[in-house]
Structure 1
Amino acid sequence: MERGKLGLIVNPVAGLGGSVGLKGTDHVAAEALRRGAVPQAERRAADALARLLPLREQITVYTGRGPLGENAARSLGFTCVCAEEIGCAATDGETTAALGAWIQAQGADLTLFAGGDGTARDVCRTAGPSGVFLGIPAGVKIHSPVYARSPRAAGELAALWLTGKVTQTKEEEVLDIDEDLYRQEQIAPRLYGYLPIPLQKQYTQNRKCASPPDEAASMAAIGCRIADDMEPGVFYLVGAGTTTRAVMEQLGLPNTLIGVDLVKNGQLVGSDLYGQQILDLIRGHPAKLVLTVTGGQGFLFGRGNQQLTPAVLRAVGRENLIIAATREKLFRLRGQPLLADTGDAALDAALSGYCRVLTGYADSVVCRIAPG
């Protein structure tokens, strides 16, 4: 191949609020850092670029200075051309949009961007008519199907595109939600445009879908079964989602729809918990985790539930996962495995394998978990 031009945009604060229970990063980056959040976007961008190392001598990376992409690329030895006129301190949407426009002006063959739905929205604002794009998932909420399933998948698909093994594109939706309303548990994705991405579905995620109202009876049956099976003296972490909310409704307890609650002996121990808070409460005690599948996408971990950090998941243990989903939700995945994208490759591998998914009061199916 001729020397390729790879664009790279990193939103360094993307996903910062996820692990500390802030359900996004817009307007709350400082609070996330105060709570002990550790930035992950640069590392996830580097994870994607690592899949391009065999092509390193054939690629020039066009990117922003410092944390906007340069750090991740240079850490792996890639040749970089940086947008010197774009400051590296700003992390707002205007910076992302300006960097995207600059990369397109350089004639990039493909632009990778690390972030969440807000980052995709900003990239979309200045996308040129001939550009090709692909998201590296690093945000809290990722409804948009312009993202790869994981950083690894983003890098692998980028390699296929740059070497001409994948040549077709498909326009996919750029969706975003109002994070302030999201924190009030009002979820209403809005369409902001389309981006062409390399067409190879096994590497990219689907659009997130809500559970339809006609699944209410199935969810209630699931909630009843889990509540009936709860053991005395055991902590139960109840993850985000409408399916898991049915458990709290059966117990007659308030629920955090997009957070993690903790229950013991039928009583609420803590609401809307995250990371270290969870560890402090369950340390030294038996604990189980109730969670569901992200509708349309199939993620168990890594989309909207980053409060369940790798440390929390290791403390609970794979054997103590209670996975629930309606048959209709699983059917819509069309045979796709359930996905783990925790940000810890070793943990993703440990979580992989076959598992039982509760689909009704007395019904269950066996599904496979795979790394994202």
Structure 2
Amino acid sequence: MRIGFVLNPIAGMGGRVGLKGTDNKVAEARARGAEPRAPKRAERALAELHDRLPDAELLTWGTPMGEQQVREAGYDPDVLGEPEGEETSSADTAAAAAAFLEATVDLVLFVGGDGTAADVAEALEGTEVPMLGIPAGVKVFSSVFAVSPEEAAHAAATFERTERREVMDINEDEYREGEVHPELRAVAHVPVGESLQSSKQLGGGTVEALAEGMAQDILADPGKTYVLAPGSTVGAVKVELGFEGSPIGVDVWRDGEVVVKDATEEQILAALGAAGENVIVVSPIGGQGFVFGRGNPQLSPAVIQRCSVQIVASRSKLDSVSVLRADTDDTELDKDLQGWWRVRVGKFETRMMKLV
């Protein structure tokens, strides 16, 4: 099998430092202390791919867009080109995908987020060459991604047919202002497999009773620090607590006061209380089921490990997912989170959901 592999090395960097994305924010992300996320996720996928397909023929783009990770995984790749400048760009991704197409690859495997997916899909438009994403971006709305780096490798190594799936993207500047308007950018051929995530779907139904019940429980249990995740469902809880939170950011609340609004990972860690006195309130993404790892990278492994977790969701949102998922960049933590969770769906009602 001939696989074209390309890495967007800056994908996801803006997440933990509270920038909700990296588009036009690379310098600011670095100034805030952001560290690359995508290369390590590439390493995980390629290690698994080499275990499954050691004889695959890998074509890639020059470091930092794939060559180093492919070689470290044990492959001797054909390097078809180099990024044009010191900072990589969407044009580099598109050039790599076009070169893979010309070299007649069987699959384009890429690491990034929705913007990277759109760049690859547009380069492959009009062909039946399949693409598959290793998720690394802050926002991952498209259905061309596997649910984890390892599952991407599994799908790449075993697929026998493809299906057409949506490539979605949003305007990050609007997203930072709380406006979420996914736009269909392309329809791409993607390997068929159970390990693919769905497109981002907005959960319907009322959450007022759920939010009222959750807020009452929080107010009745003073002294704890609550880490309130992004999204409209948890946003309704914030309103019940008496403040207008950051719609796509993480807010920290304790004893009637907002400790930090739109917090970064570092700010959340600094605001947490003693062990056993911290609670994350989070809602899964509708249509996908991700509790951690999509849209809330500020809730890092270090944050999660110091908190208990309360999951809330409307019934209609849970009806759109079969299982819950976590993709935290810490595979051991992801395993620890697996199992049955009680999800609050109303003022008093709960539903059991399995996190896989």
Q: TM-score range by the shorter chain?
A: over 0.9
Counterpart of 1:164?
Answer: none
Give the Cα–Cα distance (whole angstroms) in 2 for the partners of residues 340 and 295 of structure 1: 14
Correspondent of 1:130 among 128, 131, 155 = 128
| Number of the residue aligned with 1:177 | 170
Alpha-carbon distance between aligned partners in 1 of 2:51 and 2:261, rounded to the nearest angstrom: 47
Note if 1:300 corresponds to 2:291: yes
Give the alignment partner of residue 309 of structure 1, picking from 300, 304, 307.
300
1:262 counterpart SS class:
strand
- One of 152, 158, 165 as aligned partner of 2:150: 152
Are 1:224 and 2:212 an aligned pair? Answer: yes
- The answer as to 2:309 corresponding to 1:321 is yes
Which residue of structure 1 aligns with residue 346 of structure 2? Answer: 360
**Conservation of the 8 A alpha-carbon contact between 2:61 and 2:82:** no
Percent sequence identity over matched residues?
A: 39
Aligned to 2:152, the other structure's residue is in SS state helix
Alpha-carbon distance, 1:56 to partner = 4.8
Residue deviations 1:207-253 (CA, integer Å, cap 9, x gap): 101133xx12xx11111111111111111111011110111111111
Tell me the CA shift for residue 35 of structure 1: 1.1
- Which residue number in structure 2 is paired with residue 141 of structure 1? 139
Distance of aligned partners of 1:13 and 1:160 in 2 relative to their CA distance in 1, 3 Å threshold = same
State the one-letter code of the partner of 2:73.
L
Per-residue deviation, 1:367: 1.0
Give, in angstroms, the shift of residue 54 of structure 1. 3.0
Note closer, same or farther for the CA distance 1:313–1:127 as it changes in structure 2 (3 Å cut): same
AA of the residue aligned to 1:148: A
Moved more, 120-129 or 137-146: 120-129
- Counterpart CA distance in 1 for 2:151 and 2:351 is 27
State the alpha-carbon separation in 2 of the partners of residues 152 and 119 from structure 1.
19
Indicate conservation of the 8 Å contact 1:51/1:159, yes or no: no
- Report the counterpart of residue 260 of structure 1 in structure 2: 250
Find the partner of 2:65 among 52, 68, 87: 68
2:89 matched residue in structure 1: 92
| Residues 203 and 314 in structure 2, CA contact (< 8 A), matched pair in contact too | no
Secondary structure of residue in 2 paired with 1:308? coil
Question: Which whole-Å deviations, capped at 9, do the CAs of 1:99-120 have from their partners, x for residues lacking one?
Answer: 1000111111111010000001
Runs of 4+ in 1 over 6 A off after TM superposition: none
The separation in 1 between residues aligned to 2:329 and 2:353, in whole angstroms, is: 22
Number of residue pairs aligned between Structure 1 and Structure 2: 352
Which amino acid in the other structure matches residue 324 of structure 1? V
How far off its partner does 1:88 sit?
A: 6.7
Q: Tell me the CA shift for residue 85 of structure 1.
A: 5.3
- The structure 1 residue matched to 2:280, chosen from 262, 265, 289, is 289
- Partner of 2:236 in structure 1? 246
Q: Helix, strand or coil: the match of 1:58?
A: coil
Please tell me whether the aligned partners of residues 63 and 82 of structure 2 are also in contact (alpha carbons under 8 angstroms).
no
Aligned to 2:100: 103
1:3-47 per-residue CA deviation (whole Å, 9 max, x = no partner) reads x21110100000010111100000111111111111011111111
Equivalence for 1:47: 44
Is residue 260–residue 272 contact of structure 1 (8 Å, CA) maintained in 2?
A: yes
CA distance in 2: counterparts of 1:313 and 1:307, whole angstroms = 10
Q: What is the match of residue 206 of structure 1?
A: 198
- TM (normalized to structure 1)? 0.92
- Structure 2 residue identity aligned to 1:65: G
Question: What is the DSSP-based 3-state SS (H/G/I as helix, E as strand, rest coil) of the residue aligned with 1:360?
Answer: coil
The alignment's TM-score, normalised by the length of structure 2, stands at 0.96
Whole-Å Cα distance in 2 between the matches of residues 114 and 281 of structure 1? 33
Answer yes or no: is the 8 Å Cα contact 2:81–2:96 preserved in 1. Answer: no
C-alpha distance in 1 between matches for 2:78 and 2:44: 20
CA contact (8 A) 1:168 1:198 kept: yes
**Contact 2:225/2:273 (<8 A) preserved:** no
Tell me the equivalent position of 1:270: 260
Structure 1 pair 113/88, CA: closer, same or farther in 2 (3 Å)? farther
Structure 2: 5+ residue stretches without partners: none
CA distance in 2, matches of 1:36, 1:308: 16
Contact 2:107 2:130 in 1 (8 A): yes
Post-superposition shift, 1:283? Answer: 4.5
Write the distance in 1 (CA, Å) between the matches of 2:200 and 2:355.
18
User: Aligned in 2, Cα 1:55/1:226: closer, same or farther, shift over 3 Å?
Assistant: closer
Residue 120 of structure 1 aligns to a residue in which SS? helix
| Counterpart Cα distance in 2 of 1:85 and 1:263 | 47
Q: Say yes or no: does 1:341 pair with 2:338.
A: no
Return the alpha-carbon distance in structure 2 between the equivalents of residues 25 and 205 of structure 1: 22
Which residue of structure 1 lines up, in the alignment, with residue 2 of structure 2? 5
Structure 1: gaps spanning 5 or more residues = 162-166
Note if contact 2:342-2:350 (Cα within 8 Å) is conserved in structure 1: yes
